[in-house]
Amino acid sequence: MTTASPLRRSLLVACAAALGGLAPPTVAQVRIPLRVSSPAVPDDWHAKMWTVFKESLEKSAPSQFDVQINLNASLFKQGAEPVAMARGNLELASISAFDIAKLVPAFSIFTAGYVVRDPQHQQKVFNGPIGTELFKAVSDKMGVTVLSTVYLGTRQLNLRDVRPVRTPADLKGVKLRMPGTREWLFLGDALGATATPLAFGEVYLGLKTGTIDGQDNPLPTARAAKFYEVTKQLVLTQHLVDSLFITISNKSWNALTPAQKQNVTAAAQAAAKFNNENRIKEEGQLVDFFRQQGLQVSTPDVEAFRTSVQATYARSDYAKVWPAGLLERINATR
Ligand code: KDO
């Protein structure tokens, strides 16, 4: 009887093992890449919400997606996300009403100060018929699908030096940093200040060195970006209840199965919910925090700001392209 050589024997053993029930090698599942770009700092809620998105999606659609989160504008600069999505270089972003207004002029109504009243009003407007109509125009004109509405917060002013601020006239000559688009600069000027364009990532240094006199952002962002270290006053103007919209490029969206679309939408809604709840809670606590940091907190004559800012928008070219009745419908949404 011939005996097998050791090499032959191990080959035979391997073949027997393969035939005898070991799982055949599978082709590794290819995950769908979902690149996210945001200018947010990691400690802000609308940065952390992307981790909620990623985890929620992994749970509902295990191993199907590869969510890549890029913060601090490390992938695309602030405001460049819509173009990147349209060109197929980016799948997901949280874009602002200001980004949208460039291509969907009616949307500039949400860049106007003192239109949206509070976070609940915001959710009702965008989750109702007005949202449905406008998001259709966003999809048609921008090639992106809105998945959920994020409350970025209520914007307030931070000033480098303490000054009495009661009405817009008191901001005359104040170099107020705004993001660098026409719609943002209009808002800064409407507040009575001299709007000065600067990217978000440069604001801290601008305040520190004095190239700007102030900035506007919601309190959680001013906390996360540490603007309290380089400003002395907080002015609670409440001038804009600001939104971000989690959007996916239509190219990526259309390639998904119905089940995947459902999972991606649910993940975007979970992310927005996480952000909105935490942000609203934190906004209620931060005035004390800023006081503890040594900032003087002042409440101006908000009615004077509201009247002046609303009048400035009403006579502007922006208002001319707002669809008839839209402002009234927004106001009537409860
Ligand atoms: C800002 O630059 O002030 C702003 O708040 C504008 C928003 O639209 C959004 O881009 C936000 O910055 C970033 O996400 C950083 O928080």
CB 64 within 8 Å of CB 32: yes
User: In this structure, how many other beta carbons lie within 10 angstroms of the beta carbon of residue 292?
Assistant: 9
Among protein residues, the one whose CA lies closest to atom 1 of ligand 1: 200
Q: What is the percent of the chain with per-residue pLDDT over 90, rounded to a whole number?
A: 91
How far is Cα 218 from Cα 207, in angstroms, rounded to an integer? Answer: 16
Among protein residues, the one whose CA lies closest to atom 8 of ligand 1: 96
- What's the CA-to-centroid distance between 39 and ligand 1, angstroms? 7
Distance of CA 235 to the CA centre of its chain: 23
CB 219 within 8 Å of CB 151: no
CB 192 near ligand 1, within 6 Å: no
| Selection from 239, 177, 171 nearest residue 207 by Cα | 177
Among protein residues, the one whose CA lies closest to atom 16 of ligand 1: 40
Delineate the domains of the chain, giving CATH numbers in brackets: 32-332 (3.40.190.170)
pTM, full prediction? 0.92
- What's the CA-to-centroid distance between 246 and ligand 1, angstroms? 14
pLDDT band at 28 (very low <50, low <70, confident <90, very high): low
Among protein residues, the one whose CA lies closest to atom 2 of ligand 1: 200
CB 44 near ligand 1, within 6 Å: yes
Predicted pLDDT at 182 = 97
pLDDT band at 29 (very low <50, low <70, confident <90, very high): confident
Measured from the Cα of 199, ligand 1's closest atom is: 2
The answer, yes or no, to whether residue 11 has pLDDT greater than 80, is no
CB 318 near ligand 1, within 6 Å: no
Q: What is the pLDDT of residues 60-95, one digit of tens each?
A: 999 999 999 999 999 999 999 999 999 999 999 999
Predicted pLDDT at 6 = 41
Residue 77 DSSP SS3: coil
- What's the CA-to-centroid distance between 46 and ligand 1, angstroms? 10
Q: What is the mean pLDDT of the chain?
A: 93
Predicted pLDDT at 8 = 45
The answer, yes or no, to whether residue 3 has pLDDT greater than 50, is no
**How far apart, in Å, are the Cα atoms of 77 and each of 4, 93, 138, 204, 247?**
67, 12, 21, 17, 17
CB 96 near ligand 1, within 6 Å: yes
β-strands 175-178, 214-218 pairing: parallel
The answer, yes or no, to whether residue 9 has pLDDT greater than 70, is no
For 206, the enclosing helix (H) or strand (E) is helix 203-209
Q: What is the pLDDT of residues 229-282, one digit of tens each?
A: 999 999 999 999 999 999 999 999 999 999 999 999 999 999 999 999 999 999
- What's the CA-to-centroid distance between 278 and ligand 1, angstroms? 17
Cα angle, residue 214 at apex, residues 209 and 219 outer, rounded to 5°:
115
